[in-house]
Structure 1
Amino acid sequence: MIFKVLYQEDISESPVREETKSMYIEAESKREVRKKLADRNYNIEHVQELSEEHLAYEQQSENYKVENL
């Protein structure tokens, strides 16, 4: 499964919409996604499992890239 992760790069700062970044990660569950990102100092706002239709939409974006963790 592919998950979209919305996050802030610095865990010590309050979330600001304009600073929110996203990444795509392949994993079996939301828990596994969080475990894979545990060593990074990210403030994870949301982890969303992508349906086939949503994934097809996201893949059309030039920013779509699945992270290798």
Structure 2
Amino acid sequence: MIFKVLYQNSIKRTPRRETTESMYVEADTEVEARSKVESIKDYNIEYVEPLEGNHLEYEKKSPDFKITEIK
């Protein structure tokens, strides 16, 4: 399943819409997606959103859609 992870670049940064970034991650569960992102860097994760059906198709049309490979 594909998840859209909304985050701040720094764990110390308070969430603000203007500085929120996103990445797309493939994982089995929301918990796994969150732990994969946290393994890269100490991001301040705001929200993990599962994408499926029409919502996933809509996101795929975005030029920013790229699944981040995390091992």
**Could you state the TM-score of these two structures normalised by the residue count of structure 1?**
0.95
In 2, Cα distance between equivalents of 1:35 and 1:17: 23
CA drift of 1:17 comes to 0.7
1:7: Cα distance to partner?
0.4
TM-score, normalization by structure 2: 0.92
Identify, as 1 or 2, the structure richer in helix. Answer: 2
| Length, aligned pairs only | 69
CA offsets, 1:12-52, max 9 Å, x none? 11111100001100000001011112221100000000121
* Superposition RMSD in Å: 0.8
Unaligned runs of 5+ in 1: none
Query: Gaps spanning 5+ residues in structure 2: where?
Result: none
Instruction: Report the equivalent of 1:2.
Output: 2
Q: Structure 1 vs Structure 2: percent identity of aligned residues? A: 48
The alpha carbon displacement at 1:10 in A equals 0.6
Structure 1 moving runs of 4+ over 4 Å: none
